[in-house]
Structures are given as structure tokens and as C-alpha cells.
Amino acid sequence: MDATFTIPKTFLSVIKVREDELDRFLRRTLAVAFYRDGRLSLGKAAEFAGMKSKWEMIMLLDENNIPVDYSAEDAESDVKTLRKHLER
């Protein structure tokens, strides 16, 4: 799904983002906000942000001082998934 909205050209200079980086910037910014607000899980936020893994998302959240809700059970589940994929 595509979403279109108009922003003033001066917006880019204020936030110091080049036009060709705007999509990536907005996706990551929204993913952080949606995760922080509890609207997206860690995995879905990573997907929304266009990241390759939850670990990249964790790093982005850390850069933005957003605490990560990631339990030992979550880590065990990720290890099991990784092992399953490595067996292929």
C-alpha cells in the first residue's frame, strides 16, 4: 500500500535529510514511534523500517533511547528459528 502526503521542501533542510533518503528516514522514524507506542512488535517494526533483522531494529531503538521489550523467551525463540534456517 502506498501513502502519499505533502511536506514543505524546507522540511528536508530542517531535519537534514536528502530527498533521496526521505523514504528510508520516514520508515525508520515511524517504525521507532510505532514500536515505542506499542503499535508494532519488534519484528514488525523491523519489517516496517526495511531492516534485515530484529537486531538492526534493536540498535535503532537504542540509538533513539527507546527501551526494548525483549525477553529471554524471545531470544530462545529466535535461536530456535535461526537453527531451523541453518539446517536447510
CA dihedral for 75, 60, 52, 44, sign (positive or negative)? positive
Q: What is the span of the domain harbouring residue 57?
A: 10-86
The per-residue pLDDT for 59 is 95
Answer whether residue 15 is part of any domain: yes
Answer whether residue 2 is part of any domain: no
The per-residue pLDDT for 88 is 75
Number of domains in the chain: 1
Answer whether residue 1 is part of any domain: no
The per-residue pLDDT for 87 is 86
Answer whether residue 47 is part of any domain: yes
Answer whether residue 49 is part of any domain: yes
Query: pLDDT in tens for each of the 88 residues of the chain?
Result: 888 888 888 888 899 999 899 999 999 999 999 999 999 999 999 999 999 988 899 999 999 999 998 778 878 888 888 898 898 7
